[in-house]
Structure formats: C-alpha cells, structure tokens
Structure 1
Amino acid sequence: MPARRGVAAVPSEAAGVRGTSAAFSVTVLVPGRVRADIDAVIASAPGVVVCYADEADEADARDQRRITLDADSGSTLAWLTSALRARLGADLLQTEDPVFTVASTGKLTQSLCASVTTGHDLALFDAEADRRVIRYLSVHPNHTDRVTGRPRRIALLTDASAVLDFEPLAAEAALPAVESQAAHLHRATGLDVIPMPVDAHEPADLARLVGMLAPGFAAMVLVHTHVRRIDAVRAAMLAAARPTSPLLLDSINDGLAVAATAAILNHLRAHGIEPARARVAIVDPGRGGDLAGLVVGAGVRQVTLYDPVLYGVQPLHGLAADLDLIVDLIGLARPPDGVAVLRTRPELPPPLDSASLGPRPLHALPGLLQAAVTMRRPITPAARLAAVRALTMQTPPGMLLPPLDLPRLTPAVAAAAVEALSARE
C-alpha cells in the first residue's frame, strides 16, 4: 500500500478546509505528470477543495496516482468533475465517486459463525440436525434464545416516512440511510443488525409487520420513520394485547430525545444554571417524541412547549428575555437574539465528527439497544433517564455531548440502563 499524504490545495480567499466533506468527493486515477494540472483546476474552483494524494509506487512504471478531492458542496463537486474532464480528457482521467462506491457495498454483510470445512461440519447444517433442534423447541418453546442466533439479531425497520430531510420516499430509496444506521449500530454493539425498509402505507401496517417479524429477532428498531407513525405503531401494539410483545425501540425516543436531554443538562451546568431554576422552551415539541417528558424528569421544572405553527415565531421573540435555552426542533430561520439555541432537528443531525456539539440518536440508541437485548425487556422512561445521566457523566468539559467514538460511551449507557431495568425486579 502506498503511503498516504494529505495536501490541502484551496483558493487563497477560503477561510479553511473545515467546510469540505467526504460526502462531496471524487477519486481520480491519473498519471503523476498531470498533478500540476489538477492543482491548477483546484486553484480556480468556485468553492473550497481539499486534495488527498497517494504517493506513487516506485515500482509502478505507469506512475499512477490515486487522488481524492473533497469539496464543500454538491455544486463545487459538479464544477470540479467537469473542469477535470475538460482539462485532462477522458483518456487520462479515470474517476469514481466514493459516496456511491461505499453505498454499493451495502456497508455490512453476514459472516458464518460455524465451521463448514469438513463433511462432518456440513452435516450439522442438514435437515436431520435441524429436526432435532426443532423437536427440542417444540417441547421447550422458551429456549429459543439458547439454541438459535436470535439474541444477536436486530431488525432495523423504516417505512421511509422521515428519511433525513426528504419527503416520504419509496421504501427501497431509504436503503442507503438504513444501511448506514445498521453499520453504526453493529459497530457500537457487535449485534447483527439487518436493514429492512418496508412498504407500509399506514401505521397499522407497520405495527402488523413488527408483530410478524418479531419471532426471528431479539429486538426491532424503527429508524427514519416519522414520530407520529412511531407513536401510532406503539399504540397499535398496546391495543393488540399480545401475550409477549416484541422489544421495540426507535431513534427518536430512545436516541434523539435522550441525547438532547443530556445536551440541555450539560449546557445548563456549563452556565451555572440549576435545572430546577432553568427556563427552557422546546420549539415544535411534537417532533421530539418524549423529549419534553425526559427534560421534566431530569429536573427542569420550567418548560415551555412552543408550537410555531399555531403561534408563529414573533411571540417566541417576546419570550426570549425570560429563557435560558431554546431547543429548536424545526429549524428556525431567525431565532431570537440573546438566548442560547440548541438545534436538534431529527432530519438533520450534526456531522459525525462534530457530534459533541449536538445530539445524534447514536449517542444513546446503541447502549439502550444493548440493555434491552441483555435484559429482554422494553426500554422504560427510567432507563432513558439513566441513559441521560450516563451521557452527562461521559461528556468532557466544554462539550455538550461525548464524541461518538468514545470507547466507553455505549458500555456506560448500557450499564446505566440495565441497572434501571433491573430495579423493577
């Protein structure tokens, strides 16, 4: 493997390279002699571009260079790709888009847990072997988790009703986002997370699918699903009164709301404000699931639930002088001056590398999922509050939340939630 060297080449008026993103990137394979041409294209770019160049292999007579260029926006990327093709020509330029290259891998895959090397190994996968286990389960139905892989298997469901900031999509169009969530949850928990977009037009359809799929999974997690539909699914499951309800988590109540509550507490603590005396307004609270309940449960006694559709924005400006914090779930175009604003939009989470500055579902969801699977119990409000406390304890000074790559983050949240769930015994 050639050594990798990061070289920033940006217009002189650019403020820096932080505005670029791998989401707007192109990789080119070119002869080393045209590197100066690439630098000239970058220098005239309409936005910020950062160049990461691989060193050429000395043994490679062709002197090929693989170069990745990160841009600051889709428009800059489109200009960059067009300009490179115009300057170098198709015969010299080979391009690939890393975003689509990664997406086409599916981002995670299955692996065999048992050996299939010998004929004896293969016989353990045969019908007679299966018949023995199934006969055992027919007599001991409560032992399924002991003799199958179900305890490791998680269904990641979406009806594509709230995928980032898109309008409702066809279910298959949600796959890239669900596959990314599955990869993140697998990386954090080690569980086998299966991305499953489903064509469910009504919440009742989604609730039936959850019940139908439940026998094969330790838990279900609803992601990229509108909070109203999440609430309707949970209500339908309660109304169905099943003897054993499937474990169901979601990225709003068990993710975003928990992380946002922790960020609120950390902000108040950083400014020397006791939660019991804090004055917090939550703008468009319906988007936050149980956020308001968690905030009150965490000790904040003065919480204003502000509906911008009903009241408009101007009255919020009038309230600003009496507030310590505004939690913005809708994306206010012009928030009031003089009061801190925590932007907590479910559709637009902060970038992974700056997640310590704003809440993401991944702060809490992996640990709560681990706790639910370990205890085989649904997540309760007490478990969510325990996760809030764990997040605040793991947050370094000067930050709103812990970095997502903090090694002890998921274990700390899981341990706190397990202790809360165990207290019910």
Structure 2
Amino acid sequence: MTGRVPGQGDAGGSGPAAAANPAYSVTIRVPRGVRADIDAVIAAGPGAITCYADEPDPAGRRITLDADSGPTLTWLLSALRNRLGADLLQTEDPVFVVASTGKLTQALCASVTTGHDLALLDADADRRVIRHLATHPTHTDLFTGRPRRVALLSDASAVLDFEPLAAEAALPAVESQAVHLHRATGLDVIPMPIAARDAAELGRAIGMLAPGFAATVLVHTHVSHIDAVRAAQLPSATPLLDTVNDGLAVAATAAVLTHLRGRGVRPQSARVAVVDPARGGDLAGLLLAAGIRDLTLYDPLAFGIQPLHRLAAHLDLLVDLIGLASPPEQVPVLRTRPETPPPLASATSGPRPLHALPGLLRAAVRTHRPISAAARLAAVQALVDLTPPGGLLPPVDHPRLTPAVADAAARALAAD
C-alpha cells in the first residue's frame, strides 16, 4: 500500500520525477535557425523542461519553455544566455506578464455613446434613483448592480504557504481566486485585500463594505480569523462565506465519502482520523453529519507522530490537513493541506475550495441567506453524485458542478 488515496499525487512537487509546470516558464524571442541550440539546452537540463509553444514572430521565433521548478528555471535562463548570446533577443516570464494584467476587469453595462446616454448617468438621474431608494430601501437590488457583485476579501494572514503578509502582497492570489469565482458563477467578483490588524478590525471592515455587495467571501485568511469574525455575528444581513468552511471542508467531506464508496465501506462503519483538525474549519462537523460515526481528531503537536502510526492500522482513511512528511503506510491518506492544493488541471485527485465554493456562493446570492450546515451537507451530496465510480471528486471545470451544488444548497436553505 502506498499510503495515499488512489489518484492523489504530490501537489506542486519539484523532485526529479516532477513534470514541467507552467508556473515555472519563460518565453523567449530568437532568430530562425537556433532551435537546435535550444533543444540542446533542454536535453542538458537538471530537471524536466518541455517546449510548450514555438510560433512565428517578426524577429524569428517566439518560444515558450516550461520547467519543473524554480531552480530548473533559473538554470534554464542562465544556460540560454550562455548558449545563445546575442541571439537571445528577449525573455519574459509569463507568470509576471499575466499578473501585470490584474487578471480581470470591469465591463460597462450602460451605454455611453450619446449625450442622452451620459445624462442617464449624471447627477440629476442619480438623484431620482437615490430619492426612490431612500424611501424604498428594499428596492436596492432592483435598481443597482449589487445583486451580481461579490466582495472577495483577505487579510493576508494565510496566503498559500507564506507567513502573514502585507495586504497588498496578497493581491496576485486574491485576483486569481476572483478569476476562478467569476468564471464559475458569472458574478462580478471584486478582489480586496484588507489591511486589518486583527480579526475584530477585519470584521468591522466586512460590515462597512457589506451594503455594496450581494455577498462577502473570505479567502487566504487564517481559519482562526475566520472563526473570530463568524463568532462576532456581524449585524449585516449580507451572506458571509469563506474558502475553509464553504469550500475545502465540503470538498474534503465529499472526497472521504467517495473514497469509502470505492472501497465498499459504509460511512456508518468507517473509521476515519483527521490530522490537525483545527485547520479544517467545520470539517469534523460535516463528516459527522455525513454519517461518519468513528471519527478521531488527532493533534500531532500535542501527541507527536508515533501514536498516529500505531492508530493507522485500525483506520479506513486518514485525512491529512497538516502535510505529514512521513504519513503512515498502513492506511490510505487523503492529502488536504490548505496551503498546497492539487493543481487545477488535476483537482479530481484532491479537494479544493473551488469544488464547492462557487455553487454555495450562487445559492447564497440567489436566496439572500447565509450558508447553513444543511446547505453544506447538500453540497457534499451533490459533489458525491457528480463523481464517477472509482473517482475521488469531479473536475472543478465540470459544466454541471456549480449549478448542481447551487441548486442543492438553495433547496436546503429554502427548507431551513
């Protein structure tokens, strides 16, 4: 036994067997006739290097090369400069090129072609709508863009595997999440890092921003801050979602159920342990609600690793939220570390917030209600139903994923 849930790989691995990864790529412009030199550099690389694209360019050729890691990319750039010299006309890093675009932008919904159009966007027109809303506050969603607008907030306290960052440094990750949520839901998702000194200040910022949005989503925010904000019971009626409770925990619960289904083990008779459960938000509660009766919550900092290895022989599945360096080999391990999600292209191999969050967000916006435990459990079942036999999870770009989760959650919210 490998000690890993079948289909799960090492997300972001950079060992000798790692495949080339577009996150470590370079685009070069070169004259025609130097491809043999480039191929020689690729062949001599210390790690995996592949040619993703070789296209005509006014200067000759425009070639994009993908490496398997940061060190391999650094070696590749140096080797190309040494081998090609003046024939290396230009280099650019696609990751930074994409980041410099901001990744998404606003689109005009109102016409601005004529003076008549502009008058409908001027002070007199605004004054009429504002007077109406002042006396009919329930009409705000009828006469503004709020129903399709979502605030995507982060206090930069849990950005991937970084220590807490300055808020602006989190923008690339928050912008990427905004792109994914927009693609999946069609909503206007506005990325906003918040320079909050603590969870209380973050909660106040959420409350102040809420009137302009149909929902607020916390992303790249430490689970302890999320818990504190939720415990504060903000006065706003705007639904608040987060990537832990409304994303990762839901997807991980579905993955547990599909793994057990594939092994012919009923949830009620399964023995499951969660390592470092505090990282998973309400994962333990969802697992219990989904029918897991024998659930061990294991804190490796308090008890060390050896007792876990002794326990493993009696388990059907180990859910690893911390990223164990040497997980037990006697039991399948579901890797669920929030900081190192599986690549999007292979997210059927492990849970990601995007499996559940877009659908739950749609349900919250549609019903104007906060997401409940029943809605999360309904989302779990929707994910299980969409997973093919022998699979762990559906792909995050499955065309029915977001609608199925949204419909299931909306029905649960209506029944609450």
2: CA distance, partners of 1:79 / 1:213: 46
- Separation of aligned partners in 1, 2:383 and 2:341: 17
Q: CA offset at residue 118 of structure 1?
A: 1.0
Counterpart of 1:317, as a letter, is H
Residue 270 in structure 1 maps to residue 266 in structure 2? no
The correspondence for 2:120, drawn from 121, 124, 130, is: 124
Contact 1:53-1:65 within 8 A present in 2 as well: no
* Aligned twin of 1:134: 130
- Residue 86 of structure 1 and its aligned partner are, at CA, apart by 1.2
Deviation of the 1:398 alpha carbon: 2.1
SS at 2:395 equivalent: coil
- Select between 258-267 and 313-322 the one with higher mean Cα deviation: 313-322
Corresponding residue to 1:374 among 344, 366, 371:
366
Match of 1:310 in 2: 302
1:38: which partner in 2?
38
1:347 to 2:343 alignment: no
Q: 1:226-269: per-residue Cα shift (whole Å, max 9, x none)?
A: 00000001111x2x5x2x43210000000000000000000000
Q: TM-score, normalising length from structure 1?
A: 0.93
Letter in 2 for 1:95: T
Asked if the contact 2:30–2:87 (Cα under 8 Å) also holds between the matched residues in 1, the reply is: no
Which of 219, 225, 244 is the aligned partner of 2:221?
A: 225
* Residues 88-107 of structure 1 aligned to structure 2 (within 5 Å): 88-90=84-86, 92-107=88-103
1:282 paired residue number: 274
| CA–CA distance in structure 2, aligned partners of residues 365 and 334 of structure 1 | 31
Alpha-carbon shift at residue 91 of structure 1 (Å):
5.2
Unaligned runs of 5+ in 1: 1-13
> How many angstroms does 1:204 deviate by?
0.2
- The residue that corresponds to 1:7 in the other structure is none
1:151-300 to 2 correspondences below 5 Å = 151-236=147-232, 238=233, 242=235, 244-300=236-292
Alpha-carbon deviation of 1:338? 1.4
What do you get for the CA RMSD once the two structures are aligned?
1.3
Task: Describe the superposition over 1:69-103 as per-residue Cα deviations: whole angstroms up to 9, x where unpaired.
Answer: 00011000000001101111245331100000000
Residues 72-111 of structure 1 mapped to structure 2, 5 A cutoff:
72-90=68-86, 92-111=88-107
Distance 1:246 1:70 in 2: 43
Which residue identity does 1:134 align to in structure 2? Answer: I
Distance 1:356 1:279 in 2: 23
User: Could you tell me the percent identity over the aligned residues?
Assistant: 73
The amino acid of 1:229's aligned partner reads H
Q: Does 1:362 align with 2:358?
A: no
How many Å apart are 1:19 and its aligned residue?
1.1
Q: Distance in 1 between matches of 2:237 and 2:114?
A: 41
TM-score normalised to structure 2 length = 0.95
Question: In the aligned structure 1, how far is the partner of 2:368 from the partner of 2:231?
Answer: 20
Q: Which amino acid aligns with 1:24?
A: Y
- Tell me the CA shift for residue 334 of structure 1: 1.1
Match of 2:5 in 1: none
Tell me the distance in 1 between the aligned counterparts of 2:173 and 2:180. 11
Aligned length: 402
Q: What residue in structure 2 maps to residue 56 of structure 1?
A: 56
Distance (whole Å) between structure 1 residues aligned to residue 16 and residue 286 of structure 2: 40
Distance 1:253 1:92 in 2: 49
2:405 and 2:130 map into 1 onto residues whose CA distance is 36
Q: How many Å separate the matches in 1 of 2:214 and 2:311?
A: 46
Partner of 2:330: 338
- 8 Å Cα contact 2:150/2:215 also seen in 1: yes
Check if 1:399 corresponds to 2:395. Answer: no
What do the CA deviations read for 1:116-159 (whole angstroms, capped 9, x no partner)? 11111111100000000000001101110110000111000000
Instruction: Find the aligned partners of 1:334 and 1:201 in 2 and give their Cα distance.
Output: 36
Query: Which 4+ residue blocks in structure 1 deviate beyond 4 angstroms?
Result: none
- Long gaps (5+) in structure 2: 1-14
